[in-house]
Structure 1
Amino acid sequence: MGRDCVAIQVNKGNDENLIITFEYSPARVKKVKQVTRRWNPLGKYWEMPFTEDAVERLVKAFADEEVRFDPSIDLNWTDAPFLGPEGLSRLKRLLDETESALTLRGYSSQTIEAYKGHAERFLVFTKKLPVDIDQKDIEKYLLHLLEHGERSSSYVNQAISAIKHLFRDTEQMQSVANLRLPRPKREQKLPDVLSREEVQNVLKQVSNSKHKAILALTYSAGLRVSEVVSIRIKDIDVQRMLIHVRQGKGRKDRYTILSKTAVDVLRIYMRQYNPSDWLFPGEQAGTHLTERSAQKIFETACKKAEIKKDVSIHSLRHSFATHLLEAGTDLRYIQELLGHKNSKTTEIYTHVSQKDIGRIRSPLDSLNLDG
């Protein structure tokens, strides 16, 4: 630790809170805000709940500085050699190595962030040095996700892949990477779909032209949220009425349709905001809108529209595919527009479409229930 580094002091406060103090610097304020936003102006200290997760995030945020906990604070769950400055430093190096390896293999930034998150949560759960981890530790964690975390099989399968990548490039741990871990069977779930009327109602609730353009474009072209926020102006081809989706899922380019109505909405937005590169720029110069921001826009609109279904902005993509199918569009074309590699992925929309099932009459409708 350099001479200018001052220890981060953590003391016990009231109501099971912890009090964080340190010599001011913009860098330290930025770090502490990763853990808590609760600043006490009278006491001139930061507060955070005393939970295992919060403390681990605090130690990680200040991994390059010394964090001193008051002796009265019970941290018996942190006595594993994995934690502490040395263990956290090893964790950071290991995650950096994993990120580099995934980048060299051509994984997308979204997949890399997801895998790093899985790997970090796994290591924190085990509280062991990576070289001490065995198959039982991994199985214990996976059972924890399924039974206590109530995670989906897709989430757990992704966690398994992330753990294998974590160990793959470390010679002394390749035995773990080669383990044949049981993968939970995927649930056969159908996507939540909004009706045309519901989509129309959601869009009508949005008065901000930028927000309306984001949702309209997502639905009109069946875009993933990661795709709509990262579109550049040059990707909108008004002459051919196409959108060039660059490096979508699986690092694939594709074209999808551009709606005339969406063009009208976009023109209103662009006249008001005048974007220059990214179609939907973020708050910081040179960045695009975050996926979370787009999701919050959709959530707010759904709340105003009184939508009771369990939907996310991704449901607009599902609705796009379902409504095309119901209108008679061939499934093969829908597959191309969505960018699905496997036709079986697209076939799921046949199970939520009303095109054929809506023609079937319930036997109850042939009964007379009056008297």
Structure 2
Amino acid sequence: MAKRYGKPTSEVTQEDWKRANGFKYPSIVHTALDAGLRPIEVGRAKTHWVDVSNSTLRIPEEDSTKNEDNWTVSLRHETTKYLSRWLEERELYEKYEDTDSLWLTRHSNPYSSSSLRYVLDAVCEIAEINRDISWYAIRHSTGTYMAREEGLAAAQSQLRHHNIETTAKYDQAPVEDRRDALDNMG
């Protein structure tokens, strides 16, 4: 805490610990996982994208990456809780006063691939995950899981792909699932 806030260890207070254990990082990671956000989309995310009452993220076409459509993606209720709490907490920080950016780095910049790499490395260290994971691995996991559980159309919509062929690469049903499907066919 002392290093993080640039103060002597003896001056670290309980308030510093509360501030450090906020909802910013859980909201970033959970939202990125649910929505399959690209790094540039994390950086572009705005407060008005968040629709807490409907557990959705509404990405307008002007902020959309790689396409020209408005997108609505689903969020888990747990993610919505983190986002709701983050939006409340966000109001406490001066750096957010004149911006509608959903998240900013500690240097008041929008997140980028490199700053998200730092976040992901820290999360992996805390979770004792000893492998190299990229931000796009989160997106790929979302696409693969959504394709497996709900089909390619759901994955296409959640990942914001115009072309189903782009989404098809996420259709990686395990051998066991394909074997079960064949067995069920008779």
TM-score of the pair, normalised by structure 2 = 0.69
Amino acid at match of 2:142: F
Unmatched 5+ residue regions in structure 2? 1-19, 181-186
Contact 1:221/1:259 (8 A) holds in 2: no
Aligned equivalent of 1:297? 119
Give aligned-pair identity as a percent. Answer: 23
**Could you list the per-position Cα deviations for residues 55-95 of structure 1 after superposition, in whole angstroms to 9, with x for gaps in the alignment?**
xxxxxxxxxxxxxxxxxxxxxxxxxxxxxxxxxxxxxxxxx
Which secondary structure state, in structure 1, belongs to the residue aligned with residue 139 of structure 2? helix
Distance 2:118 2:107 in 1: 18
Choose between structure 1 and 2: higher helix proportion. Answer: 2
1:216 aligns with 2:30: yes
| Aligned counterpart for 2:42 among listed residues 200, 215, 228 | 228
- Per-residue deviation at 1:223? 1.2
Aligned equivalent of 2:148? 326
Distance 2:22 2:168 in 1: 35
Contact 2:33/2:142 (8 A) holds in 1: yes
Distance 1:301 1:237 in 2: 26
Which secondary structure state, in structure 1, belongs to the residue aligned with residue 169 of structure 2? helix
Contact 2:36/2:143 (8 A) holds in 1: yes
Amino acid at match of 2:159: L
Distance 2:105 2:130 in 1: 30
1:264 aligns with 2:98: no
Aligned equivalent of 1:347? 168
Contact 1:227/1:245 (8 A) holds in 2: no
Distance 1:252 1:308 in 2: 38
| Aligned counterpart for 1:337 among listed residues 144, 154, 158 | 158
TM-score of the pair, normalised by structure 1 = 0.37
1:250 aligns with 2:71: no
Q: CA RMSD in A?
A: 2.6
Distance 2:163 2:79 in 1: 28
Distance 1:208 1:291 in 2: 22
Q: For the structure 1 residues 357 and 343, does the alpha-carbon distance in structure 2 shift closer, same or farther, using more than 3 Å as the test?
A: farther
Unmatched 5+ residue regions in structure 1? 1-205, 362-371
Distance 1:268 1:231 in 2: 16
- Per-residue deviation at 1:233? 0.7
Aligned equivalent of 2:101? 278
Contact 2:35/2:75 (8 A) holds in 1: yes
Choose between structure 1 and 2: higher strand proportion. Answer: 1
Higher RCO structure (Cα 8 Å, ≥6 apart): 2
Counterparts of 1:1-371 in structure 2 under 5 Å? 207-246=21-60, 247-253=63-69, 254-274=71-91, 275=96, 277-283=100-106, 287-327=109-149, 329-351=150-172, 353-354=173-174, 357-358=176-177, 360=179
Distance 1:278 1:312 in 2: 23
Distance 2:177 2:151 in 1: 18
Contact 1:218/1:317 (8 A) holds in 2: yes
Which secondary structure state, in structure 2, belongs to the residue aligned with residue 349 of structure 1? coil
Aligned equivalent of 1:48? none
Aligned equivalent of 1:187? none
- Per-residue deviation at 1:358? 4.2
Amino acid at match of 2:23: S
**Could you list the per-position Cα deviations for residues 15-53 of structure 1 after superposition, in whole angstroms to 9, with x for gaps in the alignment?**
xxxxxxxxxxxxxxxxxxxxxxxxxxxxxxxxxxxxxxx
Which secondary structure state, in structure 2, belongs to the residue aligned with residue 234 of structure 1? helix
Distance 1:306 1:297 in 2: 14
- Per-residue deviation at 1:227? 0.8
Aligned residues: 152
- Per-residue deviation at 1:252? 2.4
- Per-residue deviation at 1:335? 0.8
Contact 1:229/1:294 (8 A) holds in 2: no
- Per-residue deviation at 1:218? 0.1
Aligned equivalent of 1:90? none
